């Protein structure tokens, strides 16, 4: 009830969401206020305004209901022989073209373990790991956080991407100085914390062109393909679009800029037999076997 009212702000709409009549919902509100001995809502122009008490309950309700939903999913998986569910997320990206191949590998090696992707945790994976919203975060760069253990997965180039008609499209690599006037599309509002863009800016002159933030790398690829700007993204995440000829990619500098990707888990879970460590270890092993990390297999 608390969550429905927070989402709609109206008794009628919240009642419809919950499958109740408005009068029944109003009765529930009064009963909740009686039990708590506090006012939860005030009315303002036919809308319900949450008091601080209701705002706190709405925040808690989001966590509790999410936990209950995950518990139901876990029980359903148990009926299929799955004993452990490991929740994962990738920092910044939502490219999971590699997942079916790894799931086949995982099911053969650990049939009682399943994976659940938590896409909403991609923006702040370490925080989500700490608060147990996820169990494993796939991240790039050096991980220096108390209570977190990184299992190395693979190294991958960060690539400058552009439309096929771009003036630099025929280049194997570009120097940082050549990018200073580019209209860069970033996926973070804070360049210093944006892995690919941040490394480039720290490697040379600050960009002098226009900078636009789009928080979904997949949308960035679409904009770049349409000639709306350029960007720097992980090579494995844009490989499919490059192969299709929709965008072009070049290394940043002759030597290139390489990121190391890891599976980050809570240190307390880094024990033999723990299913979270098992998934991290198997993912590392799978990446080593393919020799390409998360890049699509070559034909």
Q: Structure tokens of 119?
A: 């896409």
* 177 vs 297: CA distance, rounded Å: 33
d(CA 101, CA 296): 10
The class (CATH top level) of 156-258 is: alpha beta
What's the CA gap between 199 and 233, in Å, rounded? 11
Span of 17-26, 49-58, 188-197 with lowest mean pLDDT:
188-197
pLDDT at site 193: 44
Q: Transcribe 187-224 into DSSP letters.
A: S-S-GGG-HHHHHHHHHSSPP-S-EEE-S-HHHHHHHH
How many CA atoms lie within 13 Å of 123's alpha carbon, on the beta-carbon side? 8
DSSP conformation class of 36: H
Contact 93, 234 (CB under 8 A): yes
Ranges for all domains in the chain classified under CATH 1.10.10.10:
2-75
**CATH 3.40.190.10 in the chain, residue ranges:** 84-154+260-290, 156-258
Give the separation between CA 279 and CA 265, rounded to whole angstroms: 10
Question: Model confidence over 102-153: pLDDT tens digits?
Answer: 999 999 999 989 899 988 888 889 999 998 889 999 999 888 889 999 999 9
Q: What is the CATH number of domain 84-154+260-290?
A: 3.40.190.10
| CATH number given to 2-75 | 1.10.10.10
Average pLDDT, the chain: 87
DSSP codes of every residue in 221-286: HHHHHTTS-BEEEEHHHHHHHHHTTSSEEEEESSS-EEEEEEEEEEGGG-STT-HHHHHHHHHHHH
CA dihedral (235, 214, 128, 288) in degrees, to 10, reads -10
User: What's residue 207's pLDDT?
Assistant: 47
Lowest-confidence segment of 67-81, 140-154, 217-231, 249-263 by average pLDDT: 67-81
Residue 188: the pLDDT is 67
Task: Give the 3-state secondary structure of residue 145.
Answer: coil
Instruction: Determine the pLDDT at residue 191.
Output: 45
φ, ψ at 60 (rounded to 5°): -65, -40
Residue for token pair 């925040």: 59
- What pLDDT is attached to residue 212? 81
Average pLDDT on 1-14 reads: 92
Beta bridge partners of 117: 88
Q: The tokens of 113 are what?
A: 């373990």
């Amino acid at each position: 009830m608390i969550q429905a009212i927070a989402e709609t702000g109206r008794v009628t709409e919240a009642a419809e969401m919950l499958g109740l009549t408005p009068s029944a919902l109003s009765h529930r509100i009064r009963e909740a206020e009686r039990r708590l001995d506090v006012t939860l809502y005030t009315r303002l122009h036919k809308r319900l305004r949450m008091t601080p008490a209701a705002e706190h309950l709405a925040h808690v309700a989001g966590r509790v209901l999410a936990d209950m939903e995950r518990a139901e999913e876990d029980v359903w998986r148990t009926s299929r022989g799955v004993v452990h569910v490991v929740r994962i997320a990738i920092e910044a990206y939502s490219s999971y073209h590699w997942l079916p191949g790894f799931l086949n590998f995982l099911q053969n090696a650990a049939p009682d373990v399943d994976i659940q992707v938590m896409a909403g945790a991609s923006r702040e994976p370490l925080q989500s790991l700490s608060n147990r919203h996820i169990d494993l975060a796939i991240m790039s760069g050096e991980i220096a956080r108390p209570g977190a253990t990184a299992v190395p997965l693979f190294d991958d180039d960060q690539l400058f991407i552009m439309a096929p008609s771009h003036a630099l499209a025929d280049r194997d690599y570009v120097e940082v100085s050549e990018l200073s006037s580019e209209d860069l599309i970033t996926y973070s509002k804070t360049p210093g914390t944006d892995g690919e863009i941040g490394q480039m800016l720290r490697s040379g002159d600050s960009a002098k062109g226009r900078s636009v933030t789009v928080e979904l790398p997949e949308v960035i690829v679409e904009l770049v393909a349409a000639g709306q700007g350029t960007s720097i993204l992980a090579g494995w995440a844009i490989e499919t679009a490059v192969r299709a000829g929709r965008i072009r990619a070049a290394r940043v500098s002759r030597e290139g800029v390489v990121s190391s990707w890891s599976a980050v888990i809570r240190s307390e879970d880094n024990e033999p037999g723990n299913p979270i460590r098992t998934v991290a270890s198997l993912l590392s092993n799978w990446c080593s076997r393919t020799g390409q990390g998360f890049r699509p297999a070559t034909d």
